[in-house]
Amino acid sequence: MNDTVVVITGASSGIGAALAELLGSRGASVVLAARRSEPLRAVAARCGTTALAVTADVTRRDDVRRLRDEAIARFGRIDVWVNNAGQGITRAPSALTDEDVDQMVLQNVKSALYGMQEVLPHFKERNAGHVINVSSMLGRNPYVVMRAAYSGAKHFLDALTANFRTEVEQTHPGIQFSLVSPGVVATEFGIHARHGGNDSRAFPDAQPVAEVAEVIAGVIATRRPDVYTRRGSKERILAYYQSLAEDP
């Protein structure tokens, strides 16, 4: 990781903070972005002397552009951009409002879209770069009814990631787009969901955040295009799709 410059959104807590601290400990120069300034600076202080904290709302394109520019101004380049920011929701599909759906798309799709679009010209100039989008198992298997709108947003993100990869690799094969799909992770995700929810840290099968960070660090090293954070996840997803309607 020495000399690798990594931008991480949603880095004031949870997966983003754990990843920033892990990469910083391995010699990477990390650029942390989140809306909450004080916790963001606290995380940055644990990430080495080169870490840069940028207070930004990545649901605003102008903030994403400023994040990119500040990272390049400090380090001269960006090697990896991790779109980790997002939000869940707790509401039955029959009760969803226009605002619920709009917020799920804004928080989980547009935030990543802005990151991909704003960093892409910089990557194309160098024919080098790596975007990692943090999705969810719910983007493949919508098995939690109260997370219906979140599942839909992550389906959208999965498709965008795959199609960005297909488009860009035709002309700039040095650029990679990767997708990482965790299940339940021991973070504050649940209690920060729109309309509230259970604390994800209380679930007995919640994956430790450090394990997820290790997986993402591995994706940076290997540039694999599509990775689950737990063993057995691929088999569970395949079983889900095999259980659906068959061809005529």
Q: What angle do CA 36, 33, 37 make, to 5 degrees?
A: 25
Indicate if the alpha-carbon torsion angle 214, 216, 222, 227 is positive or negative. Answer: positive
SS3 category, 173: coil
Q: What are the two backbone dihedrals, phi and then psi, of residue 16, each rounded to the nearest 5 degrees?
A: -60, -45
**Three-state secondary-structure class, residue 56:** coil
Axis-axis angle for helices 209-222, 14-25 (nearest 10): 60
Residue 150 annotated as catalytic = yes
The rounded distance, in Å, linking the Cα atoms of 232 and 3 is 34
What angle (nearest 5°) sits at the alpha carbon of residue 131, between those of residues 126 and 132?
A: 160
Catalytic residue among 114, 143, 150, 241: 150
φ, ψ of residue 121 in degrees (nearest 5) = -60, -40
Q: Which residues are catalytic?
A: 150
